[in-house]
């Protein structure tokens, strides 16, 4: 090989070395980088000198000695730079940077009620101080991982010597990493990255161990190790390992627990038999049966974390959204457990084929603080993760009627003794004929407003809505916290009186609490100290009190619910049930002098329940909760406000039993009678204007007739269909109309038309 080829070969090599040096210099400390650049410049100058004067100019004795010294220095600098550990945080910085994967929910007295997993990459609990780890666990893990931990300064030279001896003799080597070196690796993962096994990497880890020992105390190093070490699967830290593998806190770990944890550290993915053998060897016992059983149990199916009560998972999901959060709520763990048990007991009694889901909410009337929040209990549920308290909009059913009657009483349109007509009614709407019916498909005729509301009669409620107005009632509901009612009144129509709007249980409890507080609405609180929205007046104290009195009257609701329903309590309480269309939802909302309790029963997927009514579905849970809440002292009936007066009344004709009744001042009565027919305007009730009737093709047309119904003082009036006299109005003639458009008129004795309807037969 010629000198030129040698020189070209070495030049190419030198170029690669210099490029590598430049790349390495980018990672060096500034002073080291400048030294390396100077050394590189010197080497380049010598190389240029060789190119100009030949190899002989380099080989003088002085230059050889000087070059050897420079090369040695360069080697030391290179090794120093190659093994330079990264910048390591201090103990306080490492602990401050610890981010648990969980967040925790506490009740009003600081008791843990639930937790929520936020970070699913790794399972970490809160940082565990060394003092909260059982001494047996600390001693056992130190003995297994670094038995000279208290003597060395970050590097165990005896362990390194033993490892070299084993390597030289061909035996399996024992790891020589100290706890300090491992902590450094946890804090800077590139120190322990896969492939970090050559001698330079080991020197780098040793220097990191020295650096840790120079800044941290031994207790701080051990504490960090116990929190940063991976024990099994995703469990990082002794807190997660103790809870997930043993269902304990680190302070409750026994020596056997600690031996099993120490046996996991070299191989967190080991099988139960391998872990048992390793633990048994550390314990220096011959019979490993005990450890085999414990290891199998430890690694068995996922444990129920006994230290996490799991009392409010839906509220935890609602309030906990960042790792490490600790939120103290207004909940009372005792009341929360009572609500869970009451709901579970009722759903088990109903069975999954009748109803699968339910929710309970309890609020303090005075403060608005939520004491129990049960969004569901699982069981037969097909959607257990859905929060049925605040994220489940369902039709309200009859639970909106108290606010309708309160508005009518407040405006002076009705009193509790006013007579409403519970008889068939048909209302013409833009979408067709609206024909409300009662739950039992029967009608009771004239009834007082008290009986109508307490018995949850539908037709009187619709007649009351005609007095109040759909738009005005919709506005009142929105002001009472039903924020989902965002459409105009015409969108809901007359069915709004029967609860066609969708609401949440959270809104329901807040709204009924406003009745308990004399018509003052305020938001419910889940966290103490929440800024309160301004309290707003939704109805008068007098109207709210009269409605509450009606809802607490067992005699008034006896006609519909019986004398001994689930709504009857041994103390004062007001309650309203509701069932939505097609039996999809069942409600019971009510209040005492101190608490408001709301219960919903149904199926979260929206399919109908079977054989479940207001008093057999939600009401038993409401009753159980009310009795439990007042076990120490019974609820007392609130005193009437100054604007309410009491009168003894009787009903003409024995329509209802004489009783004590309450009125707004100035509206009291002593006798109530049904308005006589002559006081009513003569009108055609059926058929309804705009109706379309269809003939059955399988029945002869002359056999298909419809009844004509009139009301009011109709004596002497006649009915005329398309200029054909049908007879007197009080003869109740049957109508057999041909196909086509028809006009039916009601005419008086003088022949004047006093009412008419147009309908179609097809």
What local confidence, expressed as pLDDT, does residue 19 receive?
A: 52
Which segment of 155-164, 188-197, 209-218, 399-408 scores lowest on mean pLDDT? 188-197
Residues with Cβ within 8 Å of 560's Cβ and at least 6 positions away in sequence, in order, are 439, 440, 454, 455, 456, 457
Task: Please give the average per-residue pLDDT across 318-326, as a whole number.
Answer: 91
Q: What pTM does this model have?
A: 0.78
Within 10 angstroms of residue 659's Cβ, the number of other Cβ atoms is 17
Summarised one tens digit per residue, pLDDT across range 229-280 is: 988 877 889 998 898 888 888 999 999 999 999 999 888 888 888 999 998 9
Q: At residue 624, does pLDDT exceed 90?
A: yes
Window from 201-205, 448-452, 679-683 with minimum mean pLDDT: 201-205
Q: What angle do CA 607, 611, 615 make, to 5 degrees?
A: 110
The verdict on residue 114 lying in a domain is yes
Does residue 696 share a domain with residue 616? no
Q: CATH code at 259?
A: 1.10.3810.10
Domain boundary, last residue among 280, 298, 316: 298
- In this structure, the answer to whether residues 578 and 656 fall within a common structural domain is yes
CA angle 497, 502, 505 (to 5 degrees): 105
In a domain, 497, yes or no: yes
The answer on 26 and 74 residing in a single domain is: yes
Expressed as residue numbers, the domain containing 133 is: 95-298
| Pair 71, 183 in one domain | no
Query: Does residue 355 lie within any of the structural domains?
Result: no
Least confident of 201-210, 267-276, 542-551: 201-210
- Dump pLDDT digits (tens) for 564-603: 889 999 999 999 999 998 889 999 999 999 999 999 999 9
pLDDT for position 67: 60
Band of residue 167 on the pLDDT scale cut at 50, 70, 90:
low
What pLDDT does 343 receive?
Answer: 97
- Domain of 527, CATH number, reads 3.40.710.10
- Provide the pLDDT for residue 539: 97
Same domain, 133 and 221: yes
Q: How confident is the model at residue 56 (pLDDT cuts 50, 70, 90)?
A: low
pLDDT value of position 700: 83
Residue 17 lies in a domain: yes
Go through the chain and tell me how many residues it has: 762
> In this structure, what DSSP letter does residue 632 have?
S
Predicted confidence band of residue 22 (pLDDT cuts 50, 70, 90): very low
> What tokens appear for 341 in the block?
């048990």
Which residue carries 């049930």 as its tokens? 577
**Band (702; pLDDT cuts 50, 70, 90):** confident
Q: What are 717-738's pLDDT values in tens digits?
A: 999 999 888 888 887 778 777 8
pLDDT at site 165: 72
At 512-526, the pLDDT tens digits run: 999 999 999 999 999
Q: Is there a domain that residue 753 lies in? A: yes
pLDDT value of residue 476: 97
Check pLDDT > 80 for residue 69: no
Shared domain check, 113 and 201: yes
Provide the domain count of the chain: 4
- Does 369 map to a domain? no
Q: What is the mean pLDDT of the chain?
A: 85
Tell me the C-alpha distance between 299 and 270, whole Å: 10
- Contacts within 8 Å (CB) and 24+ apart, 467-476: 467/408, 467/413, 467/414, 468/404, 468/407, 468/408, 468/411, 468/413, 470/494, 470/496, 472/407, 473/403, 473/404, 473/407, 473/497, 476/403, 476/407, 476/538, 476/539
**Domain match, 438 and 491 both:** yes
pLDDT for position 1: 47
Give me the mean pLDDT over the 20-33 stretch: 50
* Cα(272)–Cα(298) distance, integer angstroms: 8
CA 458 from centroid of its chain's CA atoms:
34
Domain boundary pick from 638, 664, 690: 664
Residue 143 sits in the same domain as residue 185: yes
Q: How confident is the model at residue 65 (pLDDT cuts 50, 70, 90)?
A: low
Domain check: are 540 and 587 in the same one? Answer: yes
Pick the last residue of a domain from 610, 633, 664: 664
Q: Which helix (H) or strand (E) holds 239?
A: helix 238-241
Query: Are 691 and 650 contained in the same domain?
Result: no
- Whether the pLDDT of residue 28 is over 70: the answer is no
Residues 184 and 46 in one domain: no
Judge contact between 468 and 408, C-beta under 8 A: yes
Q: Name which residue leads in pLDDT, 43 or 369.
A: 369
635 pLDDT above the threshold of 90: yes
Q: Is 199 helix (H, G, I), strand (E, B) or coil?
A: helix
Residue that is written with structure tokens 């086509």 in the block: 740
194 with 255, same domain: the answer is yes
CATH code for the domain in which residue 746 is found: 2.60.40.10
The pLDDT score that the predictor gives to residue 84 is 63
Residue at 555 is within a domain: yes
**What is the C-alpha to C-alpha distance for residues 628 and 339, in angstroms, rounded to an integer?**
9
């Amino acid at each position: 090989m010629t000198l030129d080829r040698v020189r070209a070969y070495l030049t190419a090599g030198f170029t690669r070395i210099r490029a590598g040096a430049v790349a390495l210099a980018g990672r060096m400390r500034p002073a080291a980088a400048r030294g390396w650049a100077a050394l590189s410049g010197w080497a380049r100058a010598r190389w240029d000198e060789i190119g100009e004067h030949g190899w002989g100019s380099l080989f003088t004795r002085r230059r050889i000695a000087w070059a050897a010294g420079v090369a040695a220095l360069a080697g030391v600098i290179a090794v120093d730079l190659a093994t330079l550990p990264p910048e390591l945080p201090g103990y306080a910085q490492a602990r401050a940077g610890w981010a648990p994967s969980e967040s925790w929910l506490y009740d009003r007295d600081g008791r843990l009620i639930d937790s929520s997993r936020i970070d699913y990459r790794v399972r970490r609990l809160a940082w565990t101080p060394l003092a909260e780890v059982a001494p047996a666990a600390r001693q056992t893990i130190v003995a297994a991982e670094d038995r000279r931990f208290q003597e060395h300064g970050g590097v165990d030279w005896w362990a390194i010597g033993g490892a070299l001896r084993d390597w030289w003799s061909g035996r399996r080597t024992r790891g020589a990493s100290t706890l300090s070196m491992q902590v450094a690796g946890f804090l800077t993962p590139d120190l322990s990255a896969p492939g970090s096994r050559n001698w330079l990497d080991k020197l780098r880890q040793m220097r990191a161990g020295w650096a840790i020992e120079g800044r941290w105390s031994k207790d701080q190093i051990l504490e960090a190790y116990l929190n940063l070490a991976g024990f099994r699967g995703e469990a990082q830290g002794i807190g997660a390992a103790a809870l997930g593998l043993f269902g304990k806190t680190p302070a409750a770990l026994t020596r056997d627990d600690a031996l099993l944890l120490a046996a996991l550290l070299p191989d967190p993915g080991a099988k139960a038999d391998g872990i048992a053998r390793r633990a048994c060897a550390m314990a220096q016992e011959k019979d490993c049966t005990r450890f085999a059983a414990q290891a199998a149990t430890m690694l068995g199916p996922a444990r129920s974390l006994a230290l996490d009560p799991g009392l409010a998972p839906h509220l935890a999901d609602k309030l906990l959204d960042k790792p490490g959060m600790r939120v103290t709520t207004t909940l009372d763990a005792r009341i929360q457990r009572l609500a869970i048990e009451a709901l579970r007991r009722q759903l088990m009694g109903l069975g999954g084929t009748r109803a699968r889901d339910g929710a309970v909410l309890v609020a303090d009337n005075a403060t608005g603080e939520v004491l129990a929040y049960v969004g569901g209990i699982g069981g037969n549920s097909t959607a257990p993760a859905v929060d049925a308290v605040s994220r489940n909009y369902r039709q309200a059913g009859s639970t909106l009627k108290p606010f309708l009657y309160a508005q009518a009483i407040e405006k002076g349109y009705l009193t509790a003794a006013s007579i409403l007509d519970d008889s068939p009614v048909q209302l013409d709407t833009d979408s067709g004929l609206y024909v409300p019916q009662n739950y039992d498909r029967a009608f009771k005729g004239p009834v007082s407003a008290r009986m109508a509301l307490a018995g949850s009669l539908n037709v009187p409620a619709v007649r009351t809505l005609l007095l109040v107005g759909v738009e005005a009632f919709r506005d009142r509901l929105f002001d009472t916290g039903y924020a989902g009612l965002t459409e105009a009144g015409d969108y809901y129509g007359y069915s709004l009186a029967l609860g066609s709007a969708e609401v949440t249980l959270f809104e329901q409890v807040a709204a009924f609490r406003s009745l308990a507080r004399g018509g003052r609405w305020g938001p419910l609180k889940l966290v103490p100290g929440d800024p309160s929205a301004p309290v707003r007046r939704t109805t008068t104290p007098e109207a709210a009190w009269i409605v509450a009195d009606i809802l607490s009257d067992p005699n008034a609701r006896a006609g519909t619910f019986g004398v001994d329903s689930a709504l009857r309590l041994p103390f004062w309480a007001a309650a309203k049930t509701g069932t939505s269309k097609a039996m999809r939802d069942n409600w019971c909302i009510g209040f005492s002098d101190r608490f408001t309790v709301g219960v919903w029963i149904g199926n979260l997927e929206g399919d109908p329940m079977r054989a479940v009514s207001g008093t057999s579905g939600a009401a038993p849970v409401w009753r159980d909760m009310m009795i439990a809440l007042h076990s120490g002292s019974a609820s007392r009936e609130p005193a009437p406000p100054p604007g309410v007066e009491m009168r003894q009344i009787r009903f003409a004709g024995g329509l209802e039993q004489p009783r004590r009744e309450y009125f707004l001042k100035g509206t009291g009565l002593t006798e109530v009678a049904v308005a006589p027919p002559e006081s009513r305007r003569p009108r055609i009730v059926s058929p309804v204007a705009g109706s379309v009737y269809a003939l059955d093709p399988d029945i002869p047309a002359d056999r298909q007739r419809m009844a004509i119904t009139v009301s009011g003082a109709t004596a002497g009036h006649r009915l005329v269909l398309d200029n054909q006299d049908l007879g007197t109005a009080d003869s109740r003639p049957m109508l057999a109309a041909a196909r086509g458009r028809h006009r039916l008129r009601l005419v008086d004795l003088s022949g004047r038309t006093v009412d008419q309807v147009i309908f179609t037969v097809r």
